[in-house]
Amino acid sequence: MQGSHIIQPNSNSRRRSQSEFLPTAMRIVFFLIVVCAVLIAAFTFYPEWTRLTDMKQDLASKTARFEELKKSTSEHEQEVHLLQTDKEYLEMIARDRLDLMKDGETIFRLSSAKPRS
């Protein structure tokens, strides 16, 4: 029986393959858990993200409209103040709208692209 060997599996190689498999499997499971968490977060917050983007665009357009109205209001307030306090301005506006002129006065009308209100 000297020449016959019985080959037994090396217990060290089996332990080594099992010891390498467990950390690899744990990494894969951890990676899948992280991917699932990211996907859940993305599906949860995406509608809110798009809503926030829409709200920001709406706010920007309303802010621009507000600034236009504020400027228009300021111009109207200034005109009201002039009409209430400046008699020469009031006379000029009245004569312009009623198409009146003083004796010896010549009126030149220039057309404008913006219609009068």
Q: What confidence tens digit (pLDDT) does each residue in 20-57 have?
A: 778 888 999 999 999 999 999 999 999 999 999 999 99
Residue 13, Ramachandran bin (φ over 0: left; ψ between -120 and 50: alpha; else beta): alpha
Q: Are 25 and 32 in contact (CB under 8 A)?
A: no
From CA 9, how far away is CA 113, in angstroms rounded? Answer: 99
- Indicate yes or no: pTM above 0.85: no
Q: Report pLDDT for 70.
A: 97
Q: What pLDDT band is residue 103 in, cutting at 50, 70 and 90?
A: confident
